[in-house]
Structure 1
Amino acid sequence: MAENLFSLNDIVEMKKPHPCGENRWKIIRLGADIRIKCQGCGHSVMLPRREFSKKVKKVIEHAEET
């Protein structure tokens, strides 16, 4: 899989929606583990990078480069 498909503060869509019904997540930490925050209820989840790569469907919005 190609590297750098996603970066910090990107909004991604996961394959399965969160129990609150929202399917948009913001990437709030990158490293060996990736922390994502639900855009509906604000709950955050930390996933290993490999598991995150399997569960992510697509990048909805790329973060603004400053």
Structure 2
Amino acid sequence: MYELHDMVQMKKPHACGTNRFEIIRLGMDIKIKCTGCGHIVMMPRGEFDKKLKKVLERE
């Protein structure tokens, strides 16, 4: 479904206005990095699965 360093699109954009994130850590928690401002967000896998819209680019 998604792997490390994939580019993903979330349902809601980040505060900086971009909607593109890079997955930088996988596990029970998933860490994503905003490609616009570089802010890092960490969330549980279940929450990430709900908020994920689609995978844009595969690594």
TM-score by length of 1: 0.89
Higher radius of gyration, 1 or 2: 1
In proportion to residue count, which structure has more strand? 2
Distance (Å, rounded) in 2 between the aligned partners of 1:47 and 1:11: 16
Distance (Å, rounded) in 2 between the aligned partners of 1:51 and 1:35: 12
User: Residue by residue, what CA displacement relative to the aligned partner does 1:15-64 show, whole Å, maximum 9, x if unpaired?
Assistant: 0000100000000000000000000000000010000000000000001x
Deviation at 1:14, TM superposition (A): 0.1
Tell me the equivalent position of 1:36: 32
Runs of 4+ in 1 over 3 A off after TM superposition: none
Q: Give RMSD over aligned pairs.
A: 0.2
Distance (Å, rounded) in 2 between the aligned partners of 1:47 and 1:6: 15
Question: Residue 46 of structure 1 aligns to which amino acid in structure 2?
Answer: M
1:1-66 counterparts in 2 under 5 A?
A: 5-63=1-59
TM-score by length of 2: 0.99
